[in-house]
Structure 1
Amino acid sequence: MSEEIPVPPAPDSRTIWRYLNMPQFLSIIEREKLWFSRTTEYDDPYEISIPSGDISRYVDLMREEPDFDSETIEQMVGAVEDLMPSGIESFSNYIYANSWHINENESDAMWKIYSHTHEGLAIQTTVGNLREALNSEYDMKIGEVQYIDWNQASGFVMPIQFAFLKRPDFAHERELRACYVNREELEKVDGAVADYDHETPIGEYIGVSVPKLIDKIYTSPKSPNWFHEMIKMILDTYDIDAEVRKSGVYKKSHSA
């Protein structure tokens, strides 16, 4: 039985989006797999980092400890301040994530950031569909990323929990993550603490049931008609029963 580690909850009914280019989409439906990136591959240098607020919380608790003299407590405090951040961050080589955008509606920003050409598309689904579609032996954690002031204490203690924390600078992403610890690689390390220098794969493909995953497909707001029709043909070829819609982000509606 896997250890139950709580992460920020995500209701199964929550609508999520994955904005893609054409090669990424074809990879998903041809392989029937989703790409999970090692968290060191993300742009944010604070991935799998412990907020300074959490370190301060631990330091304060130690200084209130009545069973040790002041010299011993200060030695313990120094060890926490020096070793805890590096200890947590060393796990970034072993934690893998697949990211989605949480929104009831399309996002102009996400189209511009993640679909750089007119031949882009987005998968619309729900958290429940993603949870059901994933086929993995890993202990998969699915949750909403929390955007906090780094001086604030999160209360988290396990490395994978810190995969669900980011600074407010990234709040526009409204990110949902599916994450796991690559325990096969972790078991190769001699000792209980992760070795940051141990070479691990930059990413892994994890099996997924594509028909269960996809609810709707939206084609880019600037995509030509032939691209829209081609996506329909591709879905028919792979026997995927999903509605294909043209994005209405730049279309003026009389009911608006």
Structure 2
Amino acid sequence: MYTENKNLKLPGNPDTIIWKYLDLSKFLDLLLSKKMFMSRSDKFEDQYEGTFSEPTYEEIKQIAVNNPEFLNYYKQRRKNIVISSWHINEYESFAMWQIFTKNNEGLAIQSTVGRLKEAFHAEDRITQYIGEVDYIDYKKEYIPFDDDFFPFLFKRKSFQYEKEIRVISDVTPLNLSVNEGIKIQTDIQKLIEKIYIHPKSENWYKKLVIELMDKLEFNFSVEKSDLESDILI
């Protein structure tokens, strides 16, 4: 169930376009399970995920002098926070295709912030929040820690190209051990607005994606990426 957290920054327009770039196997898993995968925060490639900038860490160390469990709490929390990352952009991103897909056979889900909010089931055991990521200088800038999600909604400036918005949840109340992540019930029809096929893919690949969706009784609009359209001279 999506719940608003007023501490988390979000685009004001619910029609703000967002994207998820992924390979065919992950897309099929989404359709078959009707569940969205959320990764454990400390399993991301960026080792700084869920950590603090240097000015904030210095303050936390001072607090932890008389309360050592304070720092341990934040370390443990990285194992209990799960995240699904999306890319904010009005248009396709060449960089995102390059980073998140391989072998010219990936695809991209186009959605909106409003659709993302509506896609989660009210009866889910954990609450989903949505927040936009801030990109800062970790050597100079301060990350507030008055909201437990803040460490997971700041990243280094070198990741600004990601323009990331995150679905974020805390699985602590479930009292379970999370390995790589968890899957949450998702209304796929509400979530997906359109599917884009990798710009360098062959025609057979688009046909395959359409056939697979037909067999699974989904009828999303499928388009070839605009990035490899015919050159007009």
CA, structure 1 residues 81+13, in 2 after alignment: closer, same or farther (shift >3 Å)?
farther
Amino acid at match of 1:214: I
Alpha-carbon distance in structure 2 between the residues aligned to 1:77 and 1:116: 45
CA, structure 1 residues 180+80, in 2 after alignment: closer, same or farther (shift >3 Å)?
farther
What does 1:54-133 align with in structure 2 at a 5 Å threshold? 54-55=56-57, 58=59, 79=65, 85-133=71-119
CA, structure 1 residues 76+145, in 2 after alignment: closer, same or farther (shift >3 Å)?
closer
* TM-score, reference length from structure 2: 0.87
Match of 1:41 in 2: 43
Match of 1:181 in 2: 170
Structure 1 residue runs of 5 or longer lacking an equivalent are: 60-74, 189-198
The 8 Å contact of residues 121 and 217 in structure 1, kept in 2 or not, is answered as yes
CA, structure 1 residues 76+174, in 2 after alignment: closer, same or farther (shift >3 Å)?
closer
Alpha-carbon distance in structure 2 between the residues aligned to 1:119 and 1:77: 50
Match of 2:15 in 1: 13
Match of 2:159 in 1: 170
Does residue 1:154 correspond to 2:161, yes or no? Answer: no
Amino acid at match of 1:212: K
The 8 Å contact of residues 8 and 164 in structure 1, kept in 2 or not, is answered as no
* Superposed CA RMSD: 2.6
The 8 Å contact of residues 7 and 142 in structure 1, kept in 2 or not, is answered as yes
Deviates further, 246-255 or 138-147: 246-255
Alpha-carbon distance in structure 2 between the residues aligned to 1:129 and 1:251: 28
How many residues are treated as equivalent by the alignment? 227
Name the SS for the 2:150 alignment partner: helix
Structure 2 residue runs of 5 or longer lacking an equivalent are: none
CA, structure 1 residues 80+88, in 2 after alignment: closer, same or farther (shift >3 Å)?
farther
- C-alpha deviation, 1:251, in angstroms: 2.4
Alpha-carbon distance in structure 1 between the residues aligned to 2:33 and 2:39: 16
Alpha-carbon distance in structure 1 between the residues aligned to 2:148 and 2:36: 23
User: Which of the numbers 217, 221, 233 marks the counterpart of 2:195?
Assistant: 217
For the pair shown, the structure with the greater C-alpha radius of gyration is: 1
- C-alpha deviation, 1:14, in angstroms: 1.4
TM-superposition CA deviations, 1:125-145 (whole Å, max 9, x none): 101111111223322110111
CA, structure 1 residues 243+253, in 2 after alignment: closer, same or farther (shift >3 Å)?
farther
CA, structure 1 residues 253+83, in 2 after alignment: closer, same or farther (shift >3 Å)?
farther
Name the SS for the 1:244 alignment partner: strand
Name the SS for the 1:29 alignment partner: helix
Alpha-carbon distance in structure 1 between the residues aligned to 2:80 and 2:6: 16
The 8 Å contact of residues 124 and 218 in structure 1, kept in 2 or not, is answered as yes
Alpha-carbon distance in structure 1 between the residues aligned to 2:200 and 2:82: 33
* TM-score, reference length from structure 1: 0.79
The 8 Å contact of residues 106 and 198 in structure 2, kept in 1 or not, is answered as yes
